[in-house]
Amino acid sequence: MGTKDWVMLLLLSFLWGGSFFFIGVAVTELPPLTIVTLRVGLAAMTLWAIALLTGYELPKSLALWRAFFVMGLISNAVPFSLIVWGQTHIGAGLASIINAATPLFTVLIAGVFLSDEHITPQKIIGVLAGLTGVTILIGPSALLDVGAHMDKSTLAQLAVIGAAVSYGCATVFGRRFKAMGVSPFNTAAGQVTGSTLILLPMVMLIERPYELAIPSARVWLSIMCLAVFSTALAYILFFRILESSGATNVVLVTFLAPVTASFLGWLVLGEQLHGRYFLAMAIIGLGLAAIDGRLWARLRAASKNI
């Protein structure tokens, strides 16, 4: 990754880290599917408004729109819903740290489906280290007793892990848009449009948002920031990095995002940071460093010079 990619990755980590904070505010007054539908719907409106103002040509291929709908399902509708529901029972910091397992699942999925991102022993070590970190984070006892004592907190944490798996699938699937000659902007706009059309009938039947009380200004502001910054702008950056640096590198952002989310959750929402969260983050970080490979290469080179 070049300097430009790293700058975009850091900006993306801030945008996605902030999303956990905005969700933490929104779930105090709105149900999960309503939040997710507002998020992708307002993001789609924002991107198409920009497209009309700047002269972007709208995609017309049926095959391309089919791909957008699949991408919208596995990149937005499924993981967003799982994360928002999870955050009705766990804090923003914990949700974002669990989501940091995304690169670990991406490595496994990319190794199977992408010819240029092979699974190597070093990556396997990284995956095992990262999954160990996630296990410590949730608590081994919770995983062992999951069948007998399925409380809402445990289910919420497993839901966020499910979102991480879905993100991994989406990142690998998203590689095809570069080969199809689709710009990062149109890919972002197409996928949030697809997910909006998938979610809209569901939310109307299940949660009936038209019957809900009007949210406070604080919640509306969080929803707007979630849609415009943490979704519309974030996905333009995401697809640009994916196009230039590949599936494994772009999802390293999910390790950086918990720092922002945990800080905002502690500073604004008053959430507590437990000691095992930091231990888990450190172990996940070692796993990601192994996946990236450069740190280990430098350490080997340094040891030869001693």
Q: CA nearest 254: which of 189, 153, 160, 149?
A: 160
Range with the poorest average pLDDT among 69-73, 197-201, 277-281, 300-304: 300-304
Q: Give the three-state DSSP class for 214.
A: coil
The answer as to whether 40 is a domain residue is yes
Q: Provide the token pair at 136.
A: 């410590």
Question: Cα–Cα distance between 17 and 264 in angstroms, integer?
Answer: 9
Question: Cα–Cα distance between 130 and 99 in angstroms, integer?
Answer: 11
Q: What is the pLDDT of residues 50-68, one digit of tens each?
A: 888 887 777 778 889 999 9
The answer as to whether 159 is a domain residue is yes
CA dihedral (17, 18, 24, 29) in degrees, to 10, reads -150
In the chain, the number of structural domains is 1
The answer as to whether 279 is a domain residue is no
Asked whether the CA dihedral 172, 178, 182, 184 is positive or negative, the reply is positive
Q: What integer pLDDT is reported at residue 296 of this predicted model?
A: 67
The answer as to whether 124 is a domain residue is no
pTM: 0.75
Kindly give the residue spans of alpha helices, DSSP state H, lying in 27-91: 32-54, 62-72, 78-86
Q: What is the pLDDT of residues 170-190, one digit of tens each?
A: 988 888 888 888 888 888 889
Q: Provide the token pair at 23.
A: 């969700």
Range with the poorest average pLDDT among 25-29, 112-116, 210-214: 112-116
- Backbone dihedral region for residue 181 (phi beyond 0: left; psi -120 to 50: alpha; all else: beta): left
Q: What integer pLDDT is reported at residue 269 of this predicted model?
A: 64
The answer as to whether 300 is a domain residue is no
Which residues form the domain of 192?
Answer: 3-119+147-274
The answer as to whether 126 is a domain residue is no
The answer as to whether 221 is a domain residue is yes
Q: What is the pLDDT of residues 115-168, one digit of tens each?
A: 666 777 777 777 777 777 766 766 665 555 444 445 677 888 889 889 989 988
Q: What integer pLDDT is reported at residue 292 of this predicted model?
A: 66
Q: What integer pLDDT is reported at residue 149 of this predicted model?
A: 47
The answer as to whether 86 is a domain residue is yes
- Backbone dihedral region for residue 57 (phi beyond 0: left; psi -120 to 50: alpha; all else: beta): beta
| Average of per-residue pLDDT values in the chain | 80
Chain centroid offset of residue 54 CA: 28
Q: What integer pLDDT is reported at residue 195 of this predicted model?
A: 93
